[in-house]
Structure 1
Amino acid sequence: MTSNPAPFADETIIKPPRDWVLVGLWISLVVVAAIWIAPFVFIVFTSLKSTAQVTTTSAFAPPADPQFVNYAKAWARGRFDITFVNSAIITAIKVPLGLFLSAMAAYALAKIPMRFGKLILLLILFGTMIPFQVMLAPIFTLVNGLGLIDTYPGVILPYLAFGIPYQVFILHGFFRNIPQELSEAARIDGASHFVTFRRVFLPVSLPVMAALFILDFVATWNEFAMALVLLQDREMWTLPLGLSAFQGQFSRDYGQLNAAIVMTVLPATIVYLIFQRYFVSGLTSGAVKG
């Protein structure tokens, strides 16, 4: 009786073929990430160097003797305490208010039958197609006629006018995909449209609302052109205006200039890190056609 050969003795281990497409994607990802991260590394390192260190060392060399005093000096010399407060007030009012108004408008257009609903939506979406740069002169004339130059409402109202149409477009697509049975059940239980919107639609729309919050916060915090036209009093300047003036006065003080840049972008970065887990899912939810 012959013995059978050991099982799998003649079998060779076959390795799966290498996916060169995936390898190429990873290489591309690393290259793109390096390109995006390099300027931030340069800015942070430069903000911690003295002027002598900036001119004698490599741009990407870590600071041998970190000059954290650059941040305190830049904050005081640039009067960023005033511009920071102005930006915080404008952003804290505009972003939540714009999201709330956009959500209510999107709900009404998506779930409340209206005779001219599609026409109203088309008119709102038309606002996303107009570059605000061509509207700066008419906006200045209107705001000046209302006596709102160098005021918070004079900036917040135009910001709302240009921010709401895009948000309505995204939220309308999201609300259209929510099953009609949810709103009908709430209506059968006696809930008004506002109660249905607040208790049913707002909770399920948190991901897309968080994504829009990030985009709107960054856009409002960094907005420059409209603020430059509407805010002429230095006491009403926002952070981008203060940073531009600081750059003009202290362009040769590289350490303090880059410290000012870091302080300007830090709040937007913190907001993104807080809401980043909602960002991708939120944008995807609002982009699906109903």
Structure 2
Amino acid sequence: MSLFSQAFRPVGSTRADPVLVALWVALILVAVIWIAPFVFIVFTSLKTNTAVMGETAFALPTDPAFSNYAKAWARGNFSVTAFNGVLITFVKVPLGVFLSAMAAYALARVPMRGRRVLFLLCVFGTMIPFQVMLAPIFKQVNAFGLINSYPGIVLPYLAFGVPYQVFILYGFFSAVPKELSEAARIDGASHFTIFRRIFLPVSLPALSALFVLDFVATWNEFAMALVILQDPQKWTLPLGLMAFQSQFQRDYGQLNAAIVMTVLPAAIVYLMFQRYFVAGLTTGAVKE
């Protein structure tokens, strides 16, 4: 408890704040609860079936079976699903964030009639759960002949991702001082130049936070991909994991190795952009 007291002792005080200490303890407990399942999955992925059945869940693997990863990768055909997931995610996420940023800038800073109505339509788009739209989406994509194609899954992802991002960026762009854009307009800069040289650099933390959130959501999306991507050669990693689980559900080591390989890319992206992600979440919380 002395460590907590030293960490949370107010300036000029010899006693720790009990409220802060309680909050710190609660955060540690919540973190342990969230981390425990992932630790269990990682440990199980390094064990044979015999070790899984004979040891406790959180026992360290005595003889790590790293071959589970190679076997799961080959048996689950994850090279194909991983390629599809990477291609779809790295096309959809940057494109969606860029389109959302341009739309939010236009709605926030370009004078035009009906822009408030357009913004309300975007807000309305964030209120529609895509699960209730799966049947109409399938019918429309099928009418365009895009079933089992990359555009057939990227376009619906964009349609449901852009409104939320526009809603977030609209508020951010509206908070940017008008003097910046007005001075650039007086100097003869176009709206695209203002957007590219002023608003994009200023909004980097917010864009990075949206990039991480959109990457994780797109990488892990299951329902829409299941409906549109019916060819196993077009499946993404969540669909490949579903098929692997149905075939090898009793091979616990390889199954958990497949889960780790599915989750790991999203975790790596988050760790890479963690600094920008936290900055984007706190942007605007404190006024200068």
* Aligned equivalent of 2:62: 64
Q: Taking structure 1 as reference, are residues 117 and 286 closer, same or farther at Cα in structure 2, changes over 3 Å only? A: farther
* Aligned equivalent of 2:214: 216
Which AA in structure 2 matches 1:119?
V
* Aligned equivalent of 2:282: 284
**Aligned residues: CA RMSD:** 1.4
Counterpart Cα distance in 2 of 1:228 and 1:123 = 28
* Aligned equivalent of 1:155: 153
Counterpart contact for 1:174–1:287, Cα < 8 Å? no
* Aligned equivalent of 2:95: 97
Counterpart contact for 1:171–1:286, Cα < 8 Å? no
Based on CA coordinates, which of the two structures has the bigger radius of gyration? 1
Counterpart Cα distance in 2 of 1:115 and 1:281 = 34
Superimposed CA distance per residue, residues 36-68 of structure 1 (whole angstroms, 9 cap, x where no aligned partner): 110011000000000000000011011000000
* Aligned-pair CA distance for 1:217: 0.1
Q: Which of 186, 189, 192 is the aligned partner of 2:190?
A: 192
* Aligned equivalent of 1:7: none
Counterpart Cα distance in 1 of 2:193 and 2:268 = 33
Counterpart Cα distance in 2 of 1:244 and 1:105 = 36
Q: Which of 164, 177, 180 is the aligned partner of 2:178?
A: 180
Q: Following superposition of structure 1 onto structure 2, how do residues 24-173 of structure 1 map, counting pairs within 5 Å?
A: 24-173=22-171
* Aligned-pair CA distance for 1:215: 0.2
Counterpart contact for 1:106–1:169, Cα < 8 Å? yes
Which AA in structure 2 matches 1:142?
Q
* Aligned equivalent of 2:9: none
Q: So what's the TM-score if we normalise by structure 1?
A: 0.93
* Aligned-pair CA distance for 1:115: 1.6
* Aligned-pair CA distance for 1:15: 6.3
* Aligned-pair CA distance for 1:283: 2.2
Which AA in structure 1 matches 2:35?
I
Superimposed CA distance per residue, residues 88-116 of structure 1 (whole angstroms, 9 cap, x where no aligned partner): 00001000000000000000011111221
* Aligned-pair CA distance for 1:237: 0.4
- More displaced, 14-23 or 230-239? 14-23
* Aligned-pair CA distance for 1:174: 0.5
* Aligned-pair CA distance for 1:286: 6.5
Q: Secondary structure at the match of 1:49?
A: coil
Counterpart Cα distance in 2 of 1:29 and 1:110 = 38
Q: Which of 236, 241, 244 is the aligned partner of 1:246?
A: 244
* Aligned-pair CA distance for 1:153: 0.2
- For the pair 1:257 / 2:255, whether they are aligned, the reply is yes
Counterpart contact for 1:70–1:255, Cα < 8 Å? yes
Counterpart Cα distance in 2 of 1:148 and 1:288 = 46
Q: So what's the TM-score if we normalise by structure 2?
A: 0.93
* Aligned-pair CA distance for 1:279: 1.2
Gaps of 5+ in 2: 1-11
Counterpart Cα distance in 1 of 2:284 and 2:254 = 41
Which AA in structure 2 matches 1:54?
V
Would you identify which runs of 4 or more consecutive aligned residues in structure 1 move more than 6 Å?
286-289
* Aligned equivalent of 1:10: none
* Aligned-pair CA distance for 1:280: 2.2
Gaps of 5+ in 1: 1-13
Q: Which of 12, 19, 22 is the aligned partner of 1:21?
A: 19
Which AA in structure 2 matches 1:268?
A
* Aligned-pair CA distance for 1:258: 0.3
Counterpart contact for 1:174–1:288, Cα < 8 Å? no
Superimposed CA distance per residue, residues 8-35 of structure 1 (whole angstroms, 9 cap, x where no aligned partner): xxxxxx9633321111111101110110
